[in-house]
Amino acid sequence: MPPSIVAPLGSITLGFNALFAWLMLGERFMALDLVGTLVAAGGAVIIAYFGYAPQGSTLLVSQLIF
Protein backbone atom coordinates (compact mmCIF):
# COMPACT_ATOMS: atom_id res chain seq x y z
CA MET A 1 0.00 0.00 0.00
CA PRO A 2 1.17 3.56 -0.66
CA PRO A 3 2.54 5.51 2.32
CA SER A 4 -0.16 8.15 1.86
CA ILE A 5 -2.67 5.53 2.91
CA VAL A 6 -0.70 3.79 5.64
CA ALA A 7 0.76 6.88 7.39
CA PRO A 8 -2.52 8.31 8.76
CA LEU A 9 -3.22 5.03 10.50
CA GLY A 10 -0.31 5.82 12.82
CA SER A 11 -2.58 8.23 14.69
CA ILE A 12 -4.44 5.23 16.06
CA THR A 13 -1.56 4.98 18.51
CA LEU A 14 -3.19 7.92 20.30
CA GLY A 15 -5.96 5.60 21.38
CA PHE A 16 -3.55 2.97 22.61
CA ASN A 17 -1.51 5.58 24.47
CA ALA A 18 -4.62 6.83 26.25
CA LEU A 19 -5.68 3.29 27.11
CA PHE A 20 -2.29 2.29 28.50
CA ALA A 21 -1.96 5.57 30.43
CA TRP A 22 -5.26 4.76 32.12
CA LEU A 23 -4.40 1.10 32.78
CA MET A 24 -0.75 1.42 33.82
CA LEU A 25 -0.44 4.90 35.24
CA GLY A 26 -3.92 5.46 36.61
CA GLU A 27 -4.46 8.59 34.52
CA ARG A 28 -7.95 10.02 34.50
CA PHE A 29 -9.74 9.43 31.21
CA MET A 30 -12.62 11.84 30.80
CA ALA A 31 -15.41 11.96 28.24
CA LEU A 32 -13.72 14.75 26.31
CA ASP A 33 -10.55 12.63 26.05
CA LEU A 34 -12.61 9.81 24.58
CA VAL A 35 -14.29 12.11 22.07
CA GLY A 36 -10.95 13.56 20.95
CA THR A 37 -9.38 10.14 20.58
CA LEU A 38 -12.31 8.80 18.57
CA VAL A 39 -12.35 11.85 16.28
CA ALA A 40 -8.60 11.53 15.61
CA ALA A 41 -8.81 7.80 14.94
CA GLY A 42 -11.92 8.17 12.80
CA GLY A 43 -10.30 10.92 10.75
CA ALA A 44 -7.23 8.79 10.20
CA VAL A 45 -9.31 5.88 8.96
CA ILE A 46 -11.27 8.16 6.60
CA ILE A 47 -8.06 9.65 5.19
CA ALA A 48 -6.56 6.19 4.73
CA TYR A 49 -9.69 4.86 3.06
CA PHE A 50 -10.18 7.76 0.66
CA GLY A 51 -6.48 8.60 0.23
CA TYR A 52 -4.61 8.58 -3.04
CA ALA A 53 -4.01 5.18 -4.57
CA PRO A 54 -2.20 4.67 -7.89
CA GLN A 55 -4.38 3.95 -10.90
CA GLY A 56 -5.50 0.35 -11.09
CA SER A 57 -4.86 -0.50 -7.45
CA THR A 58 -7.68 -1.31 -5.08
CA LEU A 59 -7.87 -0.99 -1.33
CA LEU A 60 -10.00 -3.37 0.64
CA VAL A 61 -11.25 -2.70 4.15
CA SER A 62 -9.68 -6.00 5.18
CA GLN A 63 -6.27 -4.54 4.19
CA LEU A 64 -6.81 -1.69 6.65
CA ILE A 65 -7.84 -4.00 9.50
CA PHE A 66 -5.36 -6.84 9.10
Residue 63 confidence (pLDDT): 65
Q: Which domain holds residue 39?
A: 3-65
At residue 65, the 3 state secondary structure works out as helix
pTM: 0.60
Closest CA to 14 of 38, 32, 31, 30: 38
Residue 9 confidence (pLDDT): 67
3 and 54 in contact (C-beta within 8 Å)? no
Cα separation, 1 vs 15, whole angstroms: 23
| DSSP sequence for 14-58 | HHHHHHHHHHHH-----HHHHHHHHHHHHHHHHHHHHS---TT--
pLDDT in tens, the chain (66 residues): 667 666 776 777 877 888 899 999 999 988 998 898 888 888 877 877 777 666 666 666 666 665
How many domains is the chain partitioned into structurally? 1
